[in-house]
Each structure stands twice: as structure tokens, then as C-alpha cells.
Amino acid sequence: MISSDYQNRKYLIRAIFLLVGILFAVRLFMLQVMSNEYKFSAENNVLRYITEYPARGLIYDRNGVLLVFNEAAYDLMIIPGQIKAFDTTELCALIHIDREKFLTRLKKTKKYSFHKPSLFLKQISREDYAYLAEKLYKYPGFYVQARTLRKYPVPVAGHLLGYIGEVNKKEIAADNFYFQGDYIGKSGLEKSYENILRGEKGLRVVMVDVFNREKGPFSAGKYDTSASPGLDLHISIDTELQAYGELLMQNKIGSIVALEPSTGEILALVTAPSYDPNLLVGRIRSKNYLLLSEDSLKPLMNRAIMGTYPPGSTFKVVNALIGMQEEVLFPTTQYSCDGPETRPIRCTHYHETPLMLNSAIQNSCNPYFWNVFRSIITKPEFGHDSVGFRHWRDHVMSFGFGKRFNTDIPFELKGNIPSSSYYDNIYTKGHWRALTIRSLAIGQGEILFTPLQLANLSVIIANKGYYFHPHILKSIGNEENPYDDFIQKQYTSIDAKHFDFIRKAMLDVFEGEHGTARWYKLDSVYICGKTGTVENPHGKDHSMFIAFAPIDDPKIALSVIVENAGYGSSWAVPIATLLIEKYLLGEVKRTWIEERMINSNLISDE
């Protein structure tokens, strides 16, 4: 006889099975009737999830001139698992590729994923898309994804604006915003402000019939999200000045950087040779990029921020300012010069001797500034030349040399200001003197500046001792000056009182009887400048010039470098004064100088 305990256990087990059955029934009802989860799964092969790509933000110059806008383009997407038999020849003709390339791309997309969409052919033109759209129903598994391409109505400032390109694996891994086939800013402003320009993606879920035709939004668009366009940028570039600078620098190698002293805004950033930014857009981009990258003149290199040069005689004003700050140099200090026979540093020409500081700047006298440099390094209170050198270097670094400005200019180089440890390693500690490093007195040797840093030197002198970090951005959308660190004054270690004399001496470079730029002065604008002829071990000297104008209320400060062109007064000075004339007066009246600069070909003359 079975005990009552076992009888009760039998009922308990039945109750448990009954309860489990009820729970399964309820769950099945919920899944099949109340929930869309399985409906989604079942309909997955007839639903298409289409990313809505936002329009990138537009870019305008300081005067509202449109520099970059968007033009419609289309990417052909593929889901290999949905492909059925079709006429391969016809599709190849529609998208202008041969059968071999078609099969190669098909194999690659199948390897990526059999069920996920991937890019098959990018950037189909509007004209080709019109023909393709009519017959797309014949090709199950293919669909078109709308995109935008960048267009440049004014083909200037390619290096500054930058370009966009397809993301690589590293960029995808760094930011989950991107997937294979997406585009990202690769250089210039497109890179610096990628997060602002790119906008936010949207998603569209559509129903597709067996003929690969969209039948409308799924569930009345309930699951769709809208794309948000990127924000517009308003930048500091003056398009007219930029275009004029590029015109003057055609058939030359070098750069022009023009800044607004009162803000640090970049008015022009010219690199020569340059390129039309439209060349790096669309399906022609890869071919053109290869051609540009293989060009021996390196047109893709942004010399304005990546070229590094000894500053030559333009650096003499820095040594003069340091000498006055250290009280080893005064306006009346005299040194003699015997021209090319002078030792240990010779002069480039004969001139009056002895001379004082103003005449030394006018004549760009090498021996004079060697004596200034030596007096700084060997100042008795420093005890040893290496200690004096460290003090000198601290002053130089306060001008922003030897470091990056770290604003919105990508790939900017910092140049080089050698340290005492550098010379210790070469000559051993305690075994080098001012005489050992005398080339620094005239801006030669190991010292290297970028053209941007040289233009900023002009700003510092124009502002009597301070500068703002050079930058390109004026506003994002309607937000003025969004980055406060761009507009903070950066002071040098030189007292403001010392700059008045240097400014007057730089004015005499144009207005003085022996000024090295006197042939190019303007009647209606007082320009302050300093020429430089930079020794080049690989060929002819580089022509260099820094300037600002007008002296009483500086509106523009700039640097001009023309590689392998000889004296600073031969090429850099006339180009700089033409830019100043154009910017401040609105037109150029010295057309004979303009024509010579535009029509000269210094590349073929090498």
C-alpha cells in the first residue's frame, strides 16, 4: 500500500508540470500575439535598414564667402545573402566597371559578411544613379545609399580646408560612430573639426518586395530616426587674399602666412605648389592623390606649417630684443664691420662702419649681431657660456618658437630650438662656448622655424610683446569665439618698452636710406619689415621676409618664404608688399611688380 506521503507528492509533481505548461503557453501567446520580436525576425529578409547620412557642415570665410558645400552622390550597397541570378553584364555597364573588377568586389563583400550590408561601389554620380535606379529592381541584394560629396566653388586653400576619405580600421576601432565605408576628415579643417562637421546619423527601416523594390516605411516609420546635419564653420580666411597669394606664388616653391595681430586669426595660409581641392573628391580621388603624392615638388605638403627653415636675418630682431632685455645692448651700442672680410662671421656687403643698432637692422649686418649674441651668452653674471645660453634659450622659447601652437591646425610642426644638452652631447659638457654656436647669432645653424612661427614673430613685434595662438576658426554656427584659449594673450619675456625701437628700425627697412626693402615701400602705408636670406646647403638660398602694417594700427602681419630664390629683397619683399597693398587698400596699383611676380617661373629656372 502506497503511503499518503507518496500520494501527496504525486499531486505536487502534477501541479508543477501543469504550472510549467501554463507558463510556456502564456509566453508563447506573448511572443506570437503581443510582441513583435518574432515578427521582426521573420520579416528580417524583407526589411532593409538604411543609414541616413547627415550633410556635413558648410564652411564660410570671414566675409561669408562659401568655400565648401555638399553635392549629392550615391553608394551602391550589397547584401550578398539576398543576391539572386541576374544579368552581370548589364549591371557592369550601368556602373562603369568591368566584369573582373565586379567579381573581385563581390568576393570581397562576401568575405566581409554574407548577411550584413557593405559598400560595393562608392560615389556614383547623379547622372549614373538616374539610369541605375530605373533597373535596380532586377538586382536583388543591391540597393543605393544616398551620400554627399564635398565641392569647392572657389578652388583655393586645399591644404587648409583638407579633405575627407574612407575610414580605416584604426579609425573605426577608435570611434564607434564609424563603420566600414564611412567617411572621415583626413586633413585640414575637415580633420580638426570632424566631430562638429559630421553631424549625427539617422536610420530608416523600409519594406522591400521580392523584386528589390522599396514598398515604403516599416510600421509607418515608427522605428525611423532622423539624421542631424553637421554645424557650419565660419573661418578667418580672407578668400580674396588667399587666392591672390596663391596667384603670386604660382610656379614657385614656398609659403605665405598672414595673421591679424589683434586676434591671432589666420588671414591666408598659402603653400606652393598647391592643388585644386576638387581633385581629391569622388571616385577620381585615389588616382589624383597618387599623382600628387608622387610629384617631386610635394604639392600635398603644407609648407606653411610643416616646412622648417633657419630664420636667417629675420631672427636678428629677436637677438636684439633679448640683448636689450638683458641690458647688454642699447640703441647707441656700436660695433665695427669690415664687410666680407669680417671674422668670425662675415658680412654680405660693405656699408657704413661702425654702426649702431638701427643701422645694423637696416643693413642686416651679420658681424653686428654676432657681437650682440656673444654679449648675451658671455654676460659675466651667468658665469659660463652654457648658463648664458640657457637664459638666451628661455627668452627665445617665450616667442612661441620650438613648440606647437596646438590650436585647430593639424600636423603642425614645432621647429627646433637646440638645448644645452644637445651641444653637451656633441662637444661634451663645458667644452663649448658662444663662438662654437655663433651661427645662431644670425638665425642659422640648428635653429628652425615654421613659416607660421615667423608670421607670429611679426605679430609679437606689432603688438609690442604679446600674441594670440594663431587659429582659423571664427565661429561654429552662431557661436562666436567658442574656444577661449584661442583668444588669451601670450606674453614674451621681453618688456614692451624695447619693442618701440625695433618697430622703428623695421620701418627704416623700407623708409631708411639703406633699408633692404626701400625699393618696395608704399606711398600711403607705413610698413615695418625685416629681410632674410637663408643659407641652403642643397641649392640657392631661400628668400625670406616678415612684415606688419600699418605701423600705428597693425591690421596684417605676415611671413613670405620663396625657396631657392636668393636674396630676401628679390622675391619675398615684393610679394609681401603686394599682399599688404591688396589687403589694406583693396587694389594693386604697382602692376609692373605684380606682373613680374605672377609671370616668373622659379621652378623651371632651377
Residue 573's φ and ψ, nearest 5 degrees, are: -65, -55
Report the interhelical angle of 126-135 vs 88-95 (nearest 10°). Answer: 160
- Interval 3-16 mean pLDDT: 66
**285-289, Cβ contacts within 8 angstroms, sequence gap of 24 or more:** 285/163, 285/165
Q: CA gyration radius for the chain?
A: 34
Tens of pLDDT, residue by residue over 201-220, are 998 888 877 666 667 788 77
The whole-number pLDDT of residue 409 equals 86
Label residues 191-216 b or e (16+ Cβ within 10 Å = b).
Answer: bbbbebbbbebeebbbebeeebeeee
> What are the structural domain ranges in the chain?
47-233, 239-278+301-599
State which CATH number among 3.90.1310.10, 3.30.1390.10, 3.40.50.720, 1.20.990.10 fits the domain covering 47-233: 3.90.1310.10
pLDDT at position 40 over 50: no
406-430 pLDDT, tens digit each = 888 888 999 999 999 999 999 999 8
Which residues fall within 8 angstroms of residue 261, CB to CB, at 6 or more apart?
458, 459, 462, 463, 467, 548, 554, 555, 556, 557
- Residue 41, pLDDT score: 47
Tell me the C-alpha distance between 430 and 432, whole Å.
6
* pLDDT higher at 557 or 20: 557
**Tens digit of each residue's pLDDT (9 = 90 or more) over 344-356:** 999 988 899 999 9
Q: Provide the percentage of residues in the chain whose pLDDT is more than 90.
A: 63
Query: Once rounded to an integer, what is the mean pLDDT over residues 556-581?
Result: 94
Residue 604: which pLDDT band, with cuts at 50, 70 and 90?
A: low
Of the ranges 108-117, 297-306, 464-473, which one carries the lowest mean pLDDT score?
108-117
Q: May I ask the CATH architecture of the domain 239-278+301-599? A: 3-Layer(aba) Sandwich (3.40)
Q: Is the pLDDT of residue 37 over 70?
A: no
Q: What is the mean pLDDT of the chain?
A: 89
pLDDT tens, residue by residue, 113-169: 887 788 898 888 888 888 898 888 889 889 888 888 899 999 999 999 999 988 999
d(CA 219, CA 277): 43
- Bigger pLDDT: 536 vs 156: 156
Distance between CA 85 and CA 139 in Å, rounded? 8
State the pLDDT confidence band at 473, using cuts at 50, 70 and 90: very high
Q: Which residue has the higher pLDDT, 451 or 222?
A: 451
Q: Which residue has the higher pLDDT, 587 or 409?
A: 587
Per-residue pLDDT band at 606 (split at 50, 70, 90): very low
